Chains A and B, each alone.
Chain A
Amino acid sequence: MNVVQQSEVSHRLIQVIHELSLARDLQSIVDIIRHAARELTGADGATFVLRDGDKCYYVDEDAITPLWKGLRFPLKACVSGWAMLNKQNVIIPDIYNDPRVPVDAYKPTFVKSMVMIPIRKESPIGAIGNYWAKPHEATSEEIKILESLADTTAISLQNIQLLSDLTHQLNLRDEFISISAHELRTPLTPLNLQLGLLSKHLKGQSPKVDLMLDKARTQLNDFSKLIDNLLDVSRIHLGQFSHQKVRTELCKIVQDNVNLLRLSSKGEITMNCAMNIWGEWDEERIGQVVRNLILNAIKFGEGKLIEVEVRTEQAMAVFSVKDHGMGISRADQARIFRRFERAHDYKNFGGMGLGLYVVSKILEDHGGDISVESELNEGSTFTVRLPITH
């Protein structure tokens, strides 16, 4: 092989490795390899074989005339099977002079000589073959090229297997979330009704009982919200997360929720609204965003002042919730909007790590976004930006 040829080969090999790095399914890998295997050695045919139990499966080929594409043979009855079972390269300069070749299968084809290289030599999962229409003894260069193709193919095949396993596991997880959310929700309705009924029977009989009933109702509502969060997550995943946008006013949504949550906060919550801001938003969902951010500020704000502000900024409606609590480290700031992530240790602060994920999805659906600024031990400011549509 001269210098020019060598540089062409390495150029093509680099290209193959790049293409393989982008391949996400078996067919793409097969397509890349069958063409490359033939081009790189200048052979008259190349074939891609996978082991399928005790069979060799001739997945695809690139050859001057058809070979065995789509067929399966017993491992013991074909050359690729021999290469896989013996974990060795097979070099056959003349097919009529080698006992490993089932000559009858080759007679109708152009093949006079061949090589077969196992994929993942230590425990073969397939093989790459080259064929010539005349007697030819494969050179050590040709073998090396095919071996390096086989090595990269092994890695690519393993990667797509891992990807497929991972996707399967993620689907199982999401299915589990969806089923558990629905199952957990089912008994809530009768429980809620029984509690309502109980409170109708007992209300006003003693202040202590009234307080217990109120607490039970609050806890039931909290529980219900947690399950709603889980349901939202499964809806987001299934693409069923829908919004009903109507013309609505932001200050009112924020103020209503501040009023609702004021009693839950140890520290003062101030509200500053420069002006009324109208837009096309889903009132319930934006309310959910506001509640989430204020509840987080209460949870992590160490009972100190919480400042809520609504304003406009370059044709965007903006609201921010600022606390003076423990803050979030730089590293954690990047994670908290992702699913199942939390900035603070679960042992100290409960919750499923879903709130901000759902919040960011709601805002994404509205064409808006959320960001955080925070310093450890000084507090956090969450800022939401929503487009004002007319």
Chain B
Amino acid sequence: MNQCKRILIVDDDPNIREALKEYLEFEGYEVRVAGNGQEALALLKINEKPCLILLDLMMPVMNGWEFARAAALDAGISQIPIVVTSAFIDKVEDIKARGLLSKPLDMEQLMGLANECCPAI
């Protein structure tokens, strides 16, 4: 896998994107952000791959469920672990996720999952 500590945040709420980005950067991660599934797919095609995708579900343009389906079909992306971050973790259904975190996020749980998916170099 990637020897990176790079995380992609996919969330339509700019407040959450920003705060989460700052938090993770403080923890030493390199962070990219996308406002919906479509933006995320575009970023994943042109940039180096992250070791973890934090995925919100309810988003405009392309929601989390649609993104997860598209990601599973793309060999270059399907290996990247996804952690679903949503107020609706009871509706995750068929997304193959490494973890489910309900909002508001428990940062200890999130950091635990991030460490698992992105081990230190």
Q: Which A residues have a C-beta under 8 Å from some C-beta of B?
A: 182, 185-194, 196-197, 200-201, 224, 240, 242
A185 and chain B: residue at smallest CB distance:
B87
B14 and chain A: residue at smallest CB distance:
A190
Q: Given A194-B19, A224-B104, are A189 and B26 also a contact pair (CB < 8 Å)?
A: no
21 contacts between A and B (CB under 8 A): A186-B87, A187-B15, A188-B103, A188-B104, A189-B16, A189-B103, A189-B104, A190-B13, A190-B15, A190-B18, A191-B104, A192-B104, A192-B107, A193-B16, A193-B19, A193-B20, A196-B23, A197-B19, A197-B23, A197-B26, A200-B23
A201 and chain B: residue at smallest CB distance:
B26
A221 and chain B: residue at smallest CB distance:
B104
Contact with A along B7-40 (1 / 0, CB 8 A): 0000001011011101100100000000000000
Count, chain B residues at interface, CB 8 A = 15
Chain A neighbourhood of B26, CB < 8 A: 197, 200-201
Chain A neighbourhood of B23, CB < 8 A: 193, 196-197, 200
Chain A neighbourhood of B48, CB < 8 A: none
Q: Which B residues have a C-beta under 8 Å from some C-beta of A?
A: 13, 15-16, 18-20, 22-23, 26, 87, 90, 103-105, 107
Q: Given A188-B104, A197-B23, A200-B26, are A182 and B15 also a contact pair (CB < 8 Å)?
A: no
B107 adjacent to A193 (CB under 8 Å): yes
CB distance from A316 to the nearest CB of B (A): 29
A242 adjacent to B16 (CB under 8 Å): no
Which of A185, A194, A242 makes the CB contact (< 8 A) with B103? A185
Q: Identify the 6 closest CB pairs spanning chains A and B, nearest first.
A: A193-B19, A190-B15, A192-B104, A188-B104, A190-B19, A189-B104
Interface hub of A182, A197, A200, A242 (most chain B Cβ within 10 A): A197
A182 adjacent to B19 (CB under 8 Å): no
Interface hub of B13, B20, B23, B104 (most chain A Cβ within 10 A): B104
Q: How far is the CA of A196 from the CA of B13 in the complex (A)?
A: 18
A182 adjacent to B16 (CB under 8 Å): no
Chain B neighbourhood of A196, CB < 8 A: 23, 107
CB distance from B52 to the nearest CB of A (A): 17
CB distance from B86 to the nearest CB of A (A): 10
Q: How far is the CA of A186 from the CA of B56 in the complex (A)?
A: 12
B87 adjacent to A182 (CB under 8 Å): yes
- For the A-B complex with A189-B103, A193-B22, A201-B26 known, give 15 more contacts whose Cβ atoms are closer than 8 Å: A182-B87, A185-B104, A188-B103, A188-B104, A189-B15, A190-B18, A190-B19, A191-B104, A192-B105, A193-B19, A194-B19, A196-B23, A196-B107, A197-B22, A240-B90
